Amino acid sequence: MRRLRVHPENLLDGSPGPARGCPIRGRSDGTLIPAGVGEYPSAMRDSKTVLSTVQWALLAISLLLVGVAVWDLLAGDGTRIEHVRSLAILALVLLFATPLIPKLAELSVTIPLPGGKSIYLGVKQFETRIDEVEQRVDEMRTTTDNTLLSLASLVIAHPLDSPTYQASLDRRVAEQKTIIVGCQDYTEQRILCAILAEIVRQVADHTEVIPKYDFGGAGLNFIALSRGDVDLWTSYTWQGFEMAYSTSLAENPRRAFELEPHEAIERLNQFYGELRVPIRWVTPLGFANDWCFLMRSRDCEKLFERAEGLRLSDLRHVREPFRVRCERGFHDRPGGLATLKAAAPSGYEILLEDVQVSGHHREIYDEFGDGKPELIVGFSTDRQVQEGEELVQLDDDGCHFGRYHAAVAARSWFLDRIPGLEERLKKLLGGSIDEERMSELVRDADRTPSSVDRARHIHEVEQLAQAFVKELVSERGT
């Protein structure tokens, strides 16, 4: 069993690395991330409430002082009138000056620097920084809690890995009862699950293969894989790094970002092969489905006078706030929306005003048409990304969002008990799908929206998978 030590300096340097599993959610599911992460009250909104209270208090004091002055005047006692009148005037001045205080918070100054650069300073900017630090602290607490959950399932879970439980899992495979294929809950994962199930059927033809469509997010599938509730699953390399290295990954994102697919698989196997229940990353499929950051070309021309060579870091210099269109998975995950807002070097420090969270992934491409600049967060295999001439992709130059190379992950004992399966997977699936082909498969499957008719959508997915595997067999042999 691995020792539970933290060695951030060992991340991806060839050493096994720390057991820092964090069940970060899948690309469109939020099962293991507590709701509300990243949702904080605005400091300016709180200050408005305080200022309103102060105004009412000053108004009451002013009326009281005026009343005292009038009483003294009527009583013929002029000794206190001058003092009371001065206090009343002071209170009234403060009363009418109070609304100007929020305006002071909006004051800013731009200091020019040599080389055409400048520094932007403002009270509101410092308040935003304080909010960001508080948010990061809360996210670190959430990550710690999730790390303990992941370690419990992947490393410490003795009852799940007891001889009796292991024997029952071995019996299920040995008696050729069922083989279960995991799946996340969006179209691409359904297609990959169906393809994987079709190939497994060809090797284990006397065993029932059950594709568990929409089983859950990435964390749930990883835990199910470690428990034996799922035998194999098409995952993504960055998800594997997040599960394995968590906080250490955030400290050294570029080192994992720049790995080639086969190098990433090798590093993942170094870690997952030493778990109590070893998991084997078999082969990369040939495409990466990364988070993709897009702007409409007209917005790029308006803000930057160009629509090429743009980076996410360029957006921090834009004073006009952006509207963000994204799905729930990106909004809630610790390394998602919060990274866009966080200050460098932990994020991109983009000014965001309105965040639109879509229930269905395809809705993020709907257009408002009100003239506000929009930042759209999609997948690199989305049809709109592959075909959209009006969309401009921004480079993740800070390497904060990772490379999601698709790859087959399976329990090592399962692969060892199905002769020829690992070789078959490598031969047929290794490098067989590029981004364009994956986008075509998703487009064909979504002709029948899952939200309208789930059963029909799954039927279309399985038909596409069968045709695709048949094509692979004819090209690469049996």
Q: What are the structural domain ranges in the chain?
A: 11-26+140-288+403-476, 43-106, 291-394
For residues 218 and 264, what is the distance between their CA atoms, to the nearest angstrom? 18
**Homologous superfamily of 291-394:** Osmoprotection protein (prox); domain 2 (3.40.190.120)
Task: With a cut of 70, say whether residue 218 has pLDDT above it.
Answer: yes
Class of domain 11-26+140-288+403-476: alpha beta
Q: Binning pLDDT at 50, 70 and 90, where does residue 294 land? A: very high
- pLDDT > 70? residue 73: no
The confidence band for 423, taking pLDDT boundaries of 50, 70 and 90, is: very high
Structure confidence at residue 117 as a pLDDT band (50, 70, 90): low
**Antiparallel, parallel or unpaired: β 391-394 and 291-296:** antiparallel
**What is the pLDDT averaged over residues 247-266?**
80
Looking at residue 169, its pLDDT comes to 61
CB-based contact 144:138 (threshold 8 Å)? no
CA distance 418 to 425: 12
CA-wise closest residue to 234 among 213, 249, 254: 213
Res. 111 pLDDT band, cuts 50 70 90? low
Same fold, 11-26+140-288+403-476 and 291-394: yes
| pLDDT tier for residue 41 given thresholds of 50, 70 and 90 | very low
pLDDT score, position 27: 36
Q: pTM of the entire structure?
A: 0.66
Residue 183 has pLDDT above 60, yes or no: yes
